[in-house]
Amino acid sequence: MLHPHLQRVSYASSRRVAATCHRLPQPSRRLFSTHTAEAFLEPLRSDVGIACISLNRPQAKNAISMKLLHEFRECLGTAKYDKSIRALIIRSTTTGSFCAGADLVERRTMTQIQVAKFLSDLRAALGELETLPMPTIAAIDGPALGGGLELSFACDLRVAGHSVSKIGLPETRLGIIPGAGGTQRAVRLLGMSKAKDLIFTARMLTAQEALEWGVVDYVSSPSSSAFERAVELAREVAKSAPLALRAAKQAISRAADLSLESGLDFERASYEVLLPTKDRLEALEAFKEKRQPVFKGE
């Protein structure tokens, strides 16, 4: 869902949104009360074309409640059709957090029907995240456990904070298995052997270990956060033509499902639709004039 304050023209008009994505609020200065959204979509005020879906349950380390999941899906629905977004970051509103997985406290109060619906909705949400047309980046500034790590697997790229020490899929120690795509996306991301190792042992990885395993793609420097590193990465992504980014993501994402020849045909079709676009013509003109292109997504 789009946070109601972000529908206003002036950000300065509200202290509740005085600190948006360009700066992570400190826990002692949290700007969103427990009565506000648990997940909301907001633009990165300092950079046109970059937006964030912010998880906002600091008291529970962003454990996925029914409310958070519902609002997260609303955010995804809005982002999907927002052509101004060139890169989307999934992050926490508070330092030292990302997503601690499903809310097990809430789970104990749920009926079997509610649990079944929650799992179905979570699966659908991560599928929607994975198929968003724009590149997505998970900024892992704290524990990414169970469903939290599965959420990051549904993103295109993952950045971990330098000091993060709990990244893993602990479900087998809880008598279950990863139930939001972990057994499937881990294999595609890490390979069969590493996926089995990660899940069978329920091991916890540090940020550096996660980088070595291929669970994350970047680790922030000791002096910066995962979110800050994710913003740097998003800025690099956002320099590219929006239509080209979307076409590239679609072609790459289909590669695993197609034979090489079919994949090449799909790539060619995706390439050809870009040739007559205004952005393609602008890129050629900018190259000729030795300047940076100004892309408009047209």
So which residues are the catalytic ones? 102, 147, 150, 171
Q: Which token pair is 123?
A: 């699966």
Helix axes 260-272, 242-254, angle to 10 degrees: 170
CA 292 to each of CA 181, 285, 288: distance values in angstroms, whole numbers, following the listed order: 40, 10, 10
